[in-house]
């Protein structure tokens, strides 16, 4: 390829996002980190080569859209978007309250950042991918879901809802994104990776044998971005003709996860995800 490829990494000031930003910079990508953490993002950009930090709140449309616009104005190109910024659920959804007044509004930041932030980021990715004019473009969008998007998680139901929402959103947009604009779209569902998502005491108390390796998550994101072939732990093969894939990464295993089976043949005929004109499933 003639010019370096250009990536936007949301939540790139820490954890998975920072590790992906570092990996891409090492592989000569130009990387734009979008994060609300000004100190962490600036420090990362100062340390990495070809990396720029943008202070961005993914829950705020103007903040996010103007940063996408600034990146495209500077680069005239966008090849990869990692829609990854996220927060753990705050508050206790099950807390009992007295009956003298309505309970306070639940803290829905995990839905606003994790799900609605990914929706906004994906919408902007679609728009700026379309603006590309270089011939060799291979535009890739990877969303960060979680194993909490696959399995129910009673202690953090809003976080689980946000991550499950990402999976069905990804599976809904991926065929159209590919058909209309050749955008390859995926979701990763990592198990627990020791990052700043949780406090140190929680990580120390976590069963260490169930921690997922950062290296494994990184290798999957990198393979998706680069379109490199790999196999899951059951021998299913990925190459860049495959889109709409949800990938569970647990400890050091990798598992391609299919959407739920249709309940019967009628549903199988009716609920085709491919064409917007197919029958609506309410
Ligand atoms: N660490 C895990 O065990 C794990 C497992 C599965 C999924 N995930 C997901 O991975 C993603 C990255 O998390 P992490 O584990 O690296 O945690 P992290 O806390 O180390 O990194 C998250 C980053 O997102 C940024 N961020 C949060 N809200 C933001 C907002 N509104 N706008 C912009 N940036 C924002 C934070 O400042 C931080 O830099 C999250 O979506 C998380 O839910 C993490």
Q: The tokens of 234 are what? A: 């059951």
Q: How confident is the model over 250-280, as pLDDT tens digits?
A: 999 999 999 999 999 988 888 766 544 445 5
- Percent residues over pLDDT 90 in the chain: 91
- For residue 81, what are the CA distances in angstroms to 21, 28, 278? 11, 16, 28
DSSP 276: T
Q: What is the 3-state secondary structure (H, E, C) of 56-113?
A: CCCCCHHHHHHHHHHHHHHHCCCCEEEECCCCCCCCCCCCCCCCCCCCCCCCCHHHHH
From 33, 37, 58, 85, give the residue whose CB has the most ligand 1 atoms within 8 Å, as the site to mutate. 85
Q: Is the pLDDT reported for residue 97 higher than 70?
A: yes
Q: The tokens of 90 are what? A: 């705050």
- For residue 4, what are the CA distances in angstroms to 27, 42, 106, 127, 211? 9, 22, 44, 20, 34
Q: How many CA within 13 A on the CB side of residue 91? A: 16
Assigned architecture for domain 6-270: 3-Layer(aba) Sandwich (3.40)
Q: How confident is the model over 118-138, as pLDDT tens digits?
A: 999 999 999 999 999 977 789
Q: Does the annotation count 163 as an active-site position?
A: yes
Q: The tokens of 183 are what? A: 């955008």
3-state secondary structure of 144: strand
The Å distance, Cα 268 to ligand 1 centre, comes to: 36
Q: How confident is the model over 50-75, as pLDDT tens digits?
A: 999 999 999 999 999 999 999 999 99
**Packed helices 214-226 and 15-26: angle between N→C axes, nearest 10 degrees:** 50
- For residue 169, what are the CA distances in angstroms to 22, 108, 172, 184? 28, 18, 5, 14
User: Which residue is associated with the tokens 């600036």?
Assistant: 42
Establish whether residue 158 lines the binding site of ligand 1, counting it when its CB lies within 6 angstroms of any ligand atom.
no
Q: The tokens of 260 are what? A: 């739920």
Establish whether residue 55 lines the binding site of ligand 1, counting it when its CB lies within 6 angstroms of any ligand atom.
no
Q: How confident is the model over 175-209, as pLDDT tens digits?
A: 999 999 999 999 999 999 999 999 999 999 999 99
Which one of 120, 128, 163, 216 is the catalytic residue?
163
Mean pLDDT computed over every residue of the chain: 94
pLDDT band of residue 30 (cuts 50, 70, 90) is very high
Phi and psi angles of residue 186, each rounded to the nearest 5 degrees, phi first: -145, 165
Separation between Cα atoms, residue 7 and residue 32, nearest integer Å? 6
User: Which residue is associated with the tokens 């990914």?
Assistant: 118
Q: The tokens of 141 are what? A: 């969008």
Separation between Cα atoms, residue 152 and residue 154, nearest integer Å? 6
Separation between Cα atoms, residue 282 and residue 278, nearest integer Å? 12
The Å distance, Cα 4 to ligand 1 centre, comes to: 26
Domain locations along the chain = 6-270
Establish whether residue 190 lines the binding site of ligand 1, counting it when its CB lies within 6 angstroms of any ligand atom.
yes
Q: What is the pLDDT of residue 281?
A: 55
Establish whether residue 58 lines the binding site of ligand 1, counting it when its CB lies within 6 angstroms of any ligand atom.
yes
Establish whether residue 193 lines the binding site of ligand 1, counting it when its CB lies within 6 angstroms of any ligand atom.
yes
Burial 151-167 (b: 16+ CB within 10 A, else e): eebeebbbbbbbbbbbb
């Amino acid at each position: 390829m003639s010019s370096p490829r250009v990536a936007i990494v949301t939540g790139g000031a820490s954890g998975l996002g920072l590790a992906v930003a570092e990996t891409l910079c090492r592989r000569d990508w130009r990387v734009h980190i979008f994060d609300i953490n000004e100190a962490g993002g600036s420090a990362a950009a100062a340390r990495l080569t070809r990396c720029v930090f943008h202070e961005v709140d993914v829950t705020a449309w103007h903040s996010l859209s103007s940063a996408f616009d600034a990146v495209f104005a500077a680069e005239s190109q966008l090849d990869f978007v990692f829609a990854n910024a996220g927060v753990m659920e705050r508050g206790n959804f099950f807390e009992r309250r007295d009956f003298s007044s309505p309970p306070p509004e639940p803290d829905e930041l995990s839905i606003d950042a994790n799900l609605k932030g990914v929706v906004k980021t994906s919408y902007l990715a679609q728009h700026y991918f379309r603006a590309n004019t270089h011939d060799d473009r291979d535009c890739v969008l990877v969303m960060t879901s979680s194993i909490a998007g696959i399995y129910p998680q009673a202690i953090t139901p809003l976080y689980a809802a946000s991550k499950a929402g990402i999976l069905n959103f990804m599976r809904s947009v991926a065929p159209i994104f590919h058909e209309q604009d050749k955008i390859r779209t995926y979701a990763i569902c990592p198990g627990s990776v020791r990052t700043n998502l949780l406090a140190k005491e929680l990580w120390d108390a976590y069963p260490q044998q169930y921690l997922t390796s950062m290296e494994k998550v990184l290798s999957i994101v990198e393979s998706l971005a680069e379109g490199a072939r790999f196999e899951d732990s059951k021998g299913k093969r990925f190459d860049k003709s495959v889109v709409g894939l949800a990938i569970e990464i647990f400890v050091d295993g990798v598992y391609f996860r299919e959407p739920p089976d249709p309940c019967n043949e009628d549903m199988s005929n009716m609920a085709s995800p491919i064409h917007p004109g197919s029958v609506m499933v309410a």
